[in-house]
């Protein structure tokens, strides 16, 4: 197994196909640096480790609280 494969690269994104009733993952990935479709097991000189980033800002939590209040008011009316 290649640790520097496209499936582990920060620049590669998963592509989804739409079917009649749902979505499926495509086996190919899209590299945002070279602007091409790549294979998951492929690799290139632009490889960088995939970063996990989380948005824990108060602005995002305020939006979530507002959405929950809206849903509670909506479902109480039904």
What pLDDT band is residue 61 in, cutting at 50, 70 and 90?
very high
Return the percentage of the chain with pLDDT > 70, whole number: 96
Average pLDDT over residues 51-60: 88
Query: By the 8 A CB rule, do 73 and 33 touch?
Result: no
Domain ranges of the chain: 1-45
pLDDT of res. 64: 94
Q: Is the pLDDT of residue 1 over 80?
A: no
Average pLDDT over residues 42-55: 84
Total-model pTM: 0.59
């Amino acid at each position: 197994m290649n640790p520097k494969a496209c499936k582990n690269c920060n620049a590669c994104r998963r592509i989804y196909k739409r079917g009649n009733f749902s979505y499926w993952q495509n086996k190919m990935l899209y590299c945002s640096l070279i602007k091409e479709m790549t294979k998951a097991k492929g690799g290139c000189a632009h490889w960088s480790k995939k970063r996990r980033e989380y948005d824990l800002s108060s602005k995002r939590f305020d939006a979530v609280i507002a959405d929950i209040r809206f849903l509670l008011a909506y479902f109480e009316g039904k």
